[in-house]
Amino acid sequence: MKIGQVVRQDYHSCQRLGVVEKTFMKGNWKYLKIRWFNDEAYESAMDHLKSLRHEDLAHYEYRVDEVKPIDEGWWARTLQDIINYKNSEEL
C-alpha cells in the first residue's frame, strides 16, 4: 500500500474507511498511519473500552495486513447506483 491509497477496516461491527497518510517499517512489517473518516462508531467503542479497562486500547498505527485497499471509484459508483435504485419507482 502507498500514501493516498483508500483503505477499509472491519473492526468488530465498525466499518471504517480512510486514506493512508504515511508508511514505515517496523522490523519486517510495513505499518501505516491512516486518516479515518466519519469514524464515530470506532471512537465510541474505544472510549467505552477505555472506561472499562482504564487504558487506551485504540490503534494509531496499523500493520499493513490489518486493512484492505479499496477501489474508491467502484465504491462510489456502486453506492450511487444503490441510491438511484432506492429513489426509483422499481421498489
pTM for this one? Answer: 0.86
Q: Report DSSP letters for 52-71, one per residue.
A: HHSS----SSEEGGGSEE--
Number of domains in the chain: 1
Model confidence over 1-24: pLDDT tens digits? 999 999 999 988 889 999 999 999
Instruction: Find the domain containing 50 and state its range.
Output: 6-87
76 domain residue, yes or no:
yes
83 domain residue, yes or no:
yes
Q: How confident is the model at residue 63 (pLDDT cuts 50, 70, 90)?
A: very high
1 domain residue, yes or no:
no
Note the pLDDT of residue 12.
86
59 domain residue, yes or no:
yes
* Residues 68, 31: Cα–Cα separation, whole Å: 13
Task: Using alpha carbons, select from 7, 38, 42 the residue that is nearest to residue 23.
Answer: 7
Note the pLDDT of residue 13.
86
Residue range 69-77: average pLDDT? 96
56 domain residue, yes or no:
yes
Neighbouring-strand partners of residue 33: 22
Residue range 43-57: average pLDDT? 93
